[in-house]
Amino acid sequence: MTAPDERLTALEIRAAEQEKTIEELSGQIAEQWKVIDRLQRKLDALTDRFLVLEEQTSPGHEATKPPHW
């Protein structure tokens, strides 16, 4: 092989390895987004639940007249 052929082969190998790495990283990112979405839904549900419980346990503000009226 001549030097240009060797360089071309090395570049092709490097490009193929980089493409494989990009595909693997893309897959990992997709999985992470699934986890993030699931966690966000859980957080939203817990926040809603907390707000409901907070409303149930907080003392109600009664609209009564003060004693001096």
- Predicted confidence (pLDDT) per residue in 40-54, tens digit: 999 999 999 999 998
Which residues touch 9 (CB under 8 Å, ≥6 apart)?
1
SS3 23: helix
- Tell me the residue type at 52: V
pLDDT (tens digit per residue) in 19-34: 999 999 999 999 999 9
Helix intervals (H) in 1-69: 3-57
- More confidently predicted of 36 and 65: 36
Please report, for residues 1, 6, 35, 40, the alpha-carbon distance to residue 30 in angstroms, rounded to integers and kept in the order given: 42, 36, 9, 15
- Nearest-Å Rg of the Cα atoms of the chain is 31
pLDDT at 33: 98
SS3 1: coil
* Predicted TM-score (pTM) of this structure: 0.62
